[in-house]
Structure 1
Amino acid sequence: MTTRPARGGRNPTMDQVAEAAGVSRATVSRVINGAPTVDAKIREMVQRAIAATGYVPNLAARTLVTRRTNSVALVISEPDRPDDSSFLNRVFTDPYFGRITAGATGALRLHDIHLVIIPTDSSDHHHVIRYLRQGHVDGVLLISSHERDPLPRQVHDLGIPAVLSARPAQPIPISHADVDQRLGARLAAEHLLGRGCRRLATISGPLDIPAGLDRLDGFRSYLANRGFADVPSVEGDFTRAGGEECAHRLLAQHPDVDGLFVASDLMSEGALRAVQDLGRRVPDEVAVVGFDDSSAALDCRPLLTTVRQPLEEMAAEMAELLMADIASPGRLPRSVTFQPTLVVRDSA
């Protein structure tokens, strides 16, 4: 294969790639745009010519042909955010969002797709919808689970390919990936009973999202079937400060609690601080089990026993579901449920 250097330092052209490969300009265009009808040997010749000439496809021109942007949006939606700085701080420091972003980015990189991160709340939804409607991205990975959040329905109604990060709070025909939340809570209850706890309680997640409800119901249902009908609970908000405040309130009302299931690792970190501030030893006097197996579990003292949900794998599956929806518009929605596991450390 011979190549012709670009004149005057200008970028190589598609015509030069065609000449180097010994094919037509139209064939080079079909290879660049991923046409499935190109013979494998010819595709390889063109790809070698692209590498030899240093040709870089014009993304704008390619977008006009394929109607693809090679970008997808990761939209992180919270229904209300009274303080923008605290909301953004949570987005970029909460291990949950970090793990979702890492898993999605890794999977999309294999498809040469870029990820655009968009935090939003109800006051900003119209800007997000306008951005999506204008075709800046090929699809949406949507983190939203609050029952009152209208964004999942709005995105669905746009007709753009979209995948949700959990079971939808409202009946919307949209693909999603989730973990078996109820099973995870049952694993926590089983472990606490197995180590001899008999006065159990829980700090739930927000009860306007499916994960909060399912973890609470899974924990209580398992215990009810084993004769523990009255299980105290306090509703939390998935933050450290919320976990600490809830634990103080719960233990003030029920000082004899000896086993505590906290519905997130961040809340567990705050709850452990409260338990120890009250002079209770962990796990000897109060055993604590969290949920997530995030980096927060390793920041806890003692190290946190927790239910692991494989968020990186779940996010990668979300990305693959989205790529399939982009490639085949009109596909029926699919759901994928991952299995949780218990990671035993020092807190229970």
Structure 2
Amino acid sequence: MSVDEGPSAAQRRAPTLEAVAELAGVSRATVSRVVNDSERVSPEAREAVTAAITALGYVPNRAARSLVTRRTDTIALIAHERPDTVFADPFFASVLRGANQALSLTQLQLVLLQVQGDQQRDRALRYVGNGHVDGVLLLSLHGDDTLATSVSKAGVPLVMAGRLLTGEVVDSVDADNVGGAGLAVRHLVATGRRRLATIAGPLDMSVGVDRLRGYTEAVLEAGLPDAATRIAAGDFTEAGGRAAAARLLAEHPTLDALFAASDLMALGALRALRAAGRRVPEEVAVIGFDDAAPAAYTDPPLTTIRQPVERLGQEMVRLLLRRIGDGPGEPVAVVLPTELVVRSSA
């Protein structure tokens, strides 16, 4: 009686390039060109090779393919922030979700590098510079940090979220932060508020600078110069927003509106106002920025400026892939629109 011992060793082996070539009736070189997306293949040969790959379940050897194409099929998303900020702020999750969506129809993999401090920064730069990735998406750069410049000098394509405060121009995708802050101020003024104040984002980041600029320009245009002096610094966290709102209330007890440069800071402001016995929106109106998921569920629901964060991640990937394919060129700056979302807080 024979015993079924299962597939032989030969059957268990992964299909080879040669096997694909034999089944497709073409040369090994033709299969290699198809796998490496070469244009030097006839449509008929490409179709035969593709059918053979599907039939055999052939998976290209990524290491060998990398030697031919000089590509790793990997891009890095570098978040230059503290771990608690990266994993607690809905902004980062939304950008990551958008980037993954844009990559879903490609063969590229995404790796996340969280960077805080010089040691992690240098390690990330070595990883990128040593040829482990085809390109870099860079988030949350602070001050005059030269990470973007260093990546570019290493010859690695780069796309930033936001702009560099140093004035250097690189490929970037950003929301209309100045215009969005102006929308918030004009809504508050239109609803009768006159004693406005703002909780600004970090001023070592372009997003913080631009949202404060939008606020300041709008209150001056509305003829409210005192509002341009009612500013408390925040850090895009709930705790920072709560502390900043408490300072503003202590210094300006009659204020009747708050514009916070992020939804998390607006959430902190709502809690500070509640602790101070101030009713929202009857006594103080509050507007945030982002339209993060929690904004619709605050008490009261938060009026905010919506920026298309997932689309930002998608556009960053699309711009990076175009740069990887086309090579160096004039920097491109993409600015996405923002819009006012009115809820009960203002």
TM-score scaled by structure 1? Answer: 0.94
Cα deviation for residue 239 of structure 1 reads 0.4
Cα deviation for residue 144 of structure 1 reads 2.9
* 1:14 pairs with one of 14, 17, 25: 17
* 1:194 pairs with one of 171, 190, 201: 190
Cα deviation for residue 201 of structure 1 reads 0.7
Partner SS, residue 132 of structure 2: coil
Match of 2:104 in 1: 109
Report the number of matched residues. Answer: 336
1:145 to 2:141 alignment: yes
Quick check: 1:77–1:151 contact (8 Å CA) kept in 2? no
Cα deviation for residue 294 of structure 1 reads 0.7
CA deviations over 1:131-155 (Å, ceiling 9, x no partner): 1111111110001331232211211
Task: Provide the rounded CA distance (Å) in 1 between the counterparts of 2:137 and 2:290.
Answer: 20
Match of 2:312 in 1: 314
* 2:50 pairs with one of 47, 70, 79: 47
* 1:178 pairs with one of 170, 174, 178: 174
Match of 1:37 in 2: 40
Superposition RMSD on alpha carbons, in Å? 1.4
Match of 1:256 in 2: 254
Q: How does 1:71-150 map to 2 (within 5 A)?
A: 71-78=74-81, 87-123=82-118, 124-150=120-146
Task: Provide the rounded CA distance (Å) in 1 between the counterparts of 2:34 and 2:240.
Answer: 54
Partner SS, residue 238 of structure 1: coil
Quick check: 1:307–1:341 contact (8 Å CA) kept in 2? yes
Identity over aligned residues, as a percent?
Answer: 48
Task: Provide the rounded CA distance (Å) in 2 between the counterparts of 1:172 and 1:156.
Answer: 11
Match of 1:280 in 2: 278
Task: Provide the rounded CA distance (Å) in 1 between the counterparts of 2:293 and 2:255.
Answer: 26
| Deviation beyond 4 Å, 4+ runs, structure 1 | none
Task: Provide the rounded CA distance (Å) in 1 between the counterparts of 2:23 and 2:207.
Answer: 57
Task: Provide the rounded CA distance (Å) in 2 between the counterparts of 1:115 and 1:300.
Answer: 33
CA deviations over 1:145-186 (Å, ceiling 9, x no partner): 312322112112212101001112222231000011110001
Quick check: 1:304–1:347 contact (8 Å CA) kept in 2? yes
Q: How does 1:294-309 map to 2 (within 5 A)?
A: 294-309=292-307
Partner SS, residue 163 of structure 1: strand
Amino acid at match of 1:34: D
Cα deviation for residue 290 of structure 1 reads 0.2
Partner SS, residue 327 of structure 2: coil
Task: Provide the rounded CA distance (Å) in 2 between the counterparts of 1:323 and 1:6.
Answer: 41
CA deviations over 1:191-249 (Å, ceiling 9, x no partner): 11111111111111111222111111111211211211111111111000000000000
Task: Provide the rounded CA distance (Å) in 2 between the counterparts of 1:8 and 1:227.
Answer: 80
Task: Provide the rounded CA distance (Å) in 2 between the counterparts of 1:72 and 1:153.
Answer: 17
Amino acid at match of 1:236: G
1:65 to 2:71 alignment: no
Task: Provide the rounded CA distance (Å) in 2 between the counterparts of 1:185 and 1:338.
Answer: 14
Cα deviation for residue 324 of structure 1 reads 0.9
Partner SS, residue 291 of structure 1: strand
Match of 2:210 in 1: 214
CA deviations over 1:260-302 (Å, ceiling 9, x no partner): 1000000011000001111111111100000001123134211
Match of 2:329 in 1: 331
Partner SS, residue 268 of structure 1: helix
TM-score scaled by structure 2? Answer: 0.94
Task: Provide the rounded CA distance (Å) in 1 between the counterparts of 2:176 and 2:87.
Answer: 26
Partner SS, residue 266 of structure 1: helix
Quick check: 2:129–2:151 contact (8 Å CA) kept in 1? no
Task: Provide the rounded CA distance (Å) in 1 between the counterparts of 2:44 and 2:270.
Answer: 62
Quick check: 1:145–1:169 contact (8 Å CA) kept in 2? no
Quick check: 1:178–1:337 contact (8 Å CA) kept in 2? yes
Q: Which runs of 5+ in 1 are unaligned?
A: 79-86
Amino acid at match of 1:203: I
Amino acid at match of 1:262: A
